[in-house]
Amino acid sequence: MTDIHIEKIAEELMLDRHNVQSAARLLEEGATVPFIARYRKEVTGGLDEVAVIEIRDRLARLLELDARRASILHTLEEQGTLTDELREKVNAALTLSVLEDIYLPYRPKRRTRGMAAREKGLEPLAEAIFSYRTDEPERAAASYIDSGKGVETIDDALAGARDIIAEWINENAETRAELRELFRTGGILNASVIKGMEEKGIKFKDYYNWEEPAMTAPSHRILAIRRGAAEGILRFRILPAEEEAMLLLERRYVRDRTETARQMMHAAKDSYRRLLSLSLETEIRLEIKTRADEEAVKIFAENLRNLLLAPPLGQKAVLALDPGLRTGCKAVALNPQGKLLAFETIYPLDPFNKIKESTAVVKDLAEKYNLEAIAVGNGTGGREAEAFVKGIDFGRPVITVMVNESGASVYSASEAARDEFPDKDITVRGAVSIGRRLMDPLAELVKIDPKSIGVGQYQHDVDQRLLKTALDDVVISCVNAVGVDVNTASVQILGYVSGLSARLAAALVACRDTQGPFLSRKDLMNVSGMGPKTFEQAAGFLRIQGGPNPLDASAVHPERYQIVESMAADCAATVAELIARADLREKIRPEKYITDSVGMPTLVDIIAELAKPGRDPRSEFALYNFEEGINDISDLEKGMRLPGVVTNVTAFGAFVDIGVHRDGLVHISEMADKFIKDPHSVVKVNQKIMVTVTDIDIERERISLSMKSAPSEPGRRDEKAADTIREGKKRQKVPPAVKKPRKAVSQLAQGLADWKKKQQ
């Protein structure tokens, strides 16, 4: 890390140089992003997690650039081609593409046409033409005819000279930079279907004859076209108009209308078509792929964050039901901590319809284990299973909730599931996962590879290293924002806590299992491998409930306990009393406790935490119901107004579960009554909304939905839709504005009937 790096990052991100340097230094020392953002605000000027991650990633790219620069300098030195001027150019390169352009003439190459021409002794002729030292290239070429070298004619000599010139043009850094900009600003993405693949690639039909500016093409289209090409359905090119490229080359290399200029024009055209266009197209393909990847990963990360931070039901005894038709429904009973108590297989659905027997089993489990809620997976048979359990009279309130089971099968076959339930089959493990997702989505979903959760798009097509880094950042951020109960947490979720590795997380659980629960944060130092540095990074995010020190259940870091104790002493109270009494906290004057290492941002955080120690930042759980009687795509009709839950947000819209086993699409153009650019500005994953069915394609199983105000209800407010969802109402009653015209029509009809009667 150098001062140049810090200056560049500060300028690019528009951040204070000192704050960037402080964050970079903390990262270099091994501090984690959550720790820096939460507990080192004074050091970084209050940089949040997003800013710290941007600094980390940009610094990593600059260090990669430095490593490549060093490698190139080493190679040039070994070749004996490194001059002071060349070294200066290499050191001044600010991007990888510029660096590679400088290195291109010196890069070891496979045998080229230019090399063959040089071996024939044609380089002096090429130099004469390139520098316009001859007005008669054909006469100059005549002296290079040598059958022994394979130069039989004047045309052979000129062709070889042009091959050499074409490579010089291709290797000129300024030429490449100018053409690269043309490819960026004028490159056209052109996709077409490969002949004979029209039927096989029907899902790519939209791109059989597609054309648009490459740099403004949205992420999902770029990735879709690339997938079509990878599957052998499509071919695509990214090129500017050749006339524009040739005009650019003419301005640089063609001076007049002489025969020499004609030779240069031929060489320039050959250089563009054979060398420049291919290499620059490869670059621009990579550039727009990188941009598409970054956009897709950003959307995936945002969706994942909203899913992980979904409201938890909390610690309640739950019956989880994994629906199945031929194989039956697996029912498992879980205690409030998610421990498996019992499991049964019931057959309440087609083709068995053993309603009476299944009801008896469910009621017995509910009574025996005092179950408070039922979680039903939303897979095949989910709505039917939901209707079945809702029809059971338990004699007391038992809520029923549909749970998104995406990825549950991945967990049930995973090593983590096998370790936890070695003697249970995958259906039992899957049902347990469904139940635990209702109780605490974050704690359960961290056990699954984020790519398998189903909230991304083209996740297998994007840069996998970029995707993993971004999704890991999201999971780490969510886990540490919520905090982890060290005495109940799984190895998987502990592994995401700031400073803890998978090995240390396992050691912590092993220590807890053998020696009993931890009574204080200090006890964590007894875990093998927990050194002072790791403790510093992790302690603030680990919670210990019911211990002797109430601060151990809060987000106050142990390094600041003394400040809280001083606050309590100044209020003539204990720490517990300070937490319990708002009147005491109101007496605190934070400026009194400012020191060289503790400033107002930390003190404000501490006082806020004392008001709600260890409070879960996630919103409260709210019961949600789909429309009753709408269980299958065949039950839908155009114009229906239905409640739904957002399952995925993409660049072109949002997918919504309306309870028919097939998500409907709300296109971006149907998301609001006004123009919007970003679907995330309107909805997020797990959000409950009201939608109108606009089209149904049963054959292709496609449902089109709209979030726009219903035609009969102009200006409909989201609050009313939310009320409908919360109350689980059936279709809404006809509003008064519509009732009045109906009444008027009825009166007119009656009057007409009376008149006819009189006429008779």
Q: Pairing between strand 542-543 and 641-650? A: unpaired
Domains 318-439 and 633-733 alike in fold: no
State pLDDT tens for residues 153-177: 999 999 999 999 999 999 999 999 9
Q: What is the pLDDT of residue 1?
A: 64
**What is the C-alpha separation between 602 and 196, in angstroms, rounded?**
66
* pLDDT confidence bin for 715, thresholds 50/70/90: very low
Sign of the CA dihedral running 244, 248, 249, 251? positive
Q: What is the pLDDT of residue 746?
A: 40
pLDDT for residue 281 is more than 70: yes
Q: What is the pLDDT of residue 711?
A: 55
Percent of the chain whose predicted confidence (pLDDT) is above 70: 93
Best CATH choice for the domain 633-733 from the list 3.10.20.440, 1.10.1740.10, 2.40.50.140, 3.40.50.970:
2.40.50.140
State pLDDT tens for residues 499-533: 999 999 999 999 999 999 999 999 999 999 999 99
CATH assignment, 318-439: 3.30.420.140
Q: What is the pLDDT of residue 710?
A: 65
Write down the domain spans for the chain. 3-76, 318-439, 556-611, 633-733
Q: What is the pLDDT of residue 740?
A: 34
Q: Pairing between strand 641-650 and 702-706? A: unpaired
**What is the C-alpha separation between 388 and 420, in angstroms, rounded?**
30
Find, among 536, 523, 442, 449, the residue nearest to 486 by Cα: 523
Most confident residue range from 101-110, 501-510, 715-724? 501-510
Q: What is the pLDDT of residue 56?
A: 96
Q: What is the pLDDT of residue 449?
A: 86
Q: C-alpha 33: how far from its chain's center?
A: 18
State pLDDT tens for residues 231-246: 999 999 999 999 999 9
Q: What is the pLDDT of residue 751?
A: 43
Specify the residue for token string 């409909």.
Answer: 716
pLDDT for residue 377 is more than 60: yes
CATH assignment, 3-76: 1.10.10.650
Q: What is the pLDDT of residue 325?
A: 87
Q: Which is more confident, 697 or 456?
A: 697
State pLDDT tens for residues 285-337: 999 999 999 999 999 999 999 999 999 999 999 999 999 988 899 999 999 99
Work out the average pLDDT over 78-102: 93
pLDDT for residue 734 is more than 70: no
**What is the C-alpha separation between 82 and 78, in angstroms, rounded?**
8
The mean pLDDT of the chain is 90
* pLDDT confidence bin for 615, thresholds 50/70/90: confident
pLDDT for residue 372 is more than 90: yes
**What is the C-alpha separation between 352 and 750, in angstroms, rounded?**
52
State pLDDT tens for residues 188-234: 999 999 999 999 999 999 999 999 999 999 999 999 999 999 999 99
* pLDDT confidence bin for 727, thresholds 50/70/90: very low
* Residues sharing a CB contact under 8 Å with residue 295, sequence separation 6 or more, in sequence order: 218, 219, 651
Q: C-alpha 401: how far from its chain's center?
A: 27
Longest dimension (CA), the chain: 120
223 and 236 in contact (C-beta within 8 Å)?
no
Q: Pairing between strand 188-193 and 209-213? A: antiparallel
pLDDT for residue 728 is more than 60: no
Sign of the CA dihedral running 256, 259, 264, 270? positive
Percent of the chain whose predicted confidence (pLDDT) is above 90: 82
